[in-house]
Structure 1
Amino acid sequence: MNGSGSDGKVLLVLLLAAAPAHAQSFHSGKCPQPPVQEDFDVTKYMGTWYEIEKLPAVFERGTCNQATYSLLPDGTVKVRNAERLSNGKRNAIEGVARVKKSSQPAILGVSFFKGVSDGPYWVLSTDYQSYSLVYSCTDYFLFHVDFAWILSRTRVLADDVISRLHDKLSSAGVNLDRLTASNQTDCEQSGA
């Protein structure tokens, strides 16, 4: 989703119509350009990550949010995002992520629907084994919409690690007041 072309305009209209003001992060001006993970190794990143905190996203409605990444033979990444809805049912969507430039492997584009431009997926920081900090931002004319996720290999993450990741987001120009904790309780019992 780069905001160019008619598909970007249609998506913008849909987002504005569907998202209550408090459920999305709109800002004036262009997207910030935070530094990304140096020497990112996409192979080490594969596996399941659990959402610990996020900027609100209209497309996330449930709890027990998690993403599973697996490397495909052509070098792209299969993405499977899953959540538990309030009625107890599981909701999942699959897509494909691609490294945008081989010189910057931590900058990926993710696509879940044919005909819609890739959404940005920037890995700002990860140790591959316990945490990941992901940022996504799309420019639309005079404003931008951004998303951020703090992810963990387990359903909990140490407070000191979260604090360090908050510092990285803040230095990138992200408003931390909008971050919300993700609910990862009672997930195993529900099969999430």
Structure 2
Amino acid sequence: MSTFLLLLFLLPLISAQTFHWGPCPVPKVQPGFSLEKYLGRWYEIEKLPASFERGKCIEANYSLRKDGTIRVLNSQFYKDKVRIAEGTAVVSDPREPARLGVSFSYFTPYSPYWVLTTDYTQISVVYSCTDILRLFHIDYAWILGRSRFLPHETVSYAKDLLIKEGIDLCKMKATDQSGCKET
């Protein structure tokens, strides 16, 4: 009964996400990941649905803070306004620097932000997953580019990688990057 009530309570949150039964998959991440090369601006090309991303012109800018944490500045154009969210990312384990954690509030734990692959100059493929009592999980996946538009074959490569890692992309959607103002 308590599991049913928990699921009922979480249903509104889940409906705007991509969820699957069972625990999170654990995909391989970028070997030899260099945070310094990764820093800077990335534009969202495609994503699995996320309730916190409903606008267009979505981008993220990563910069190193003096304390060694990473400043995450996400922006999107939504309901005729530029909306900005600032968060913090950390490298949880220096032996696996491509497995970062990110949080947008002091009150929430760090969520996975795993860089599955990047060439640092054109594309990045990122995955995150939250396990709910190992009964089901909520997926997030992003294909990011250093420019607002990527060639079709580059996006196909990214999707193939995600599929090979067991990530279901049936709900993946392109992000509208048209008519965006450069900041």
TM-score, normalised relative to structure 2: 0.92
Aligned-partner Cα distance in 2 for 1:118–1:177: 26
Q: 2:3 aligns to what?
A: none
Cα distance change, pair 14–123 in 1 and its aligned pair in 2 (3 A)? farther
SS at match of 1:120: strand
**After superposition, what is the alpha-carbon deviation per residue over 1:43-77, rounded to whole angstroms, capped at 9, x for unaligned?**
10111000000000011111100000001122210
**After superposition, what is the alpha-carbon deviation per residue over 1:58-114, rounded to whole angstroms, capped at 9, x for unaligned?**
1111110000000112221000000001x3101011011000100000000001111
Residue 118 of structure 2 is aligned to residue 126 of structure 1: yes
Aligned-partner Cα distance in 2 for 1:164–1:136: 19
Which amino acid in 2 is paired with 1:128? Y
Aligned-partner Cα distance in 2 for 1:157–1:58: 24
SS at match of 2:98: strand
Q: 1:17 aligns to what?
A: 12
TM-superposed deviation, 1:186: 0.3
TM-score, normalised relative to structure 1: 0.88
**RMSD of aligned Cα (Å):** 1.7
Cα distance change, pair 18–157 in 1 and its aligned pair in 2 (3 A)? same
Q: 2:155 aligns to what?
A: 162
Cα distance change, pair 121–13 in 1 and its aligned pair in 2 (3 A)? farther
Q: How does 1:62-77 map to 2 (within 5 A)?
A: 62-77=55-70
**Identity of matched residues, %:** 49
Cα distance change, pair 181–14 in 1 and its aligned pair in 2 (3 A)? farther
**2:164 pairs with 171, 178, 188, which one?**
171
Q: Which piece of structure 1 moves more, 69-78 or 101-110? A: 69-78
**After superposition, what is the alpha-carbon deviation per residue over 1:162-183, rounded to whole angstroms, capped at 9, x for unaligned?**
1111111001111121110000
Aligned-partner Cα distance in 2 for 1:107–1:92: 24
Q: 1:92 aligns to what?
A: 84
Q: Which runs of 5+ in 2 are unaligned?
A: 1-5
TM-superposed deviation, 1:13: 7.8
**2:42 pairs with 30, 46, 49, which one?**
49
**2:95 pairs with 103, 108, 115, which one?**
103
Aligned-partner Cα distance in 1 for 2:8–2:64: 33
**1:143 pairs with 136, 142, 154, which one?**
136
Aligned-partner Cα distance in 2 for 1:187–1:18: 29
Which amino acid in 2 is paired with 1:154? S
Cα distance change, pair 27–159 in 1 and its aligned pair in 2 (3 A)? same
TM-superposed deviation, 1:14: 7.2
Cα distance change, pair 62–15 in 1 and its aligned pair in 2 (3 A)? farther
Q: Which runs of 5+ in 1 are unaligned?
A: 1-9
SS at match of 2:97: strand
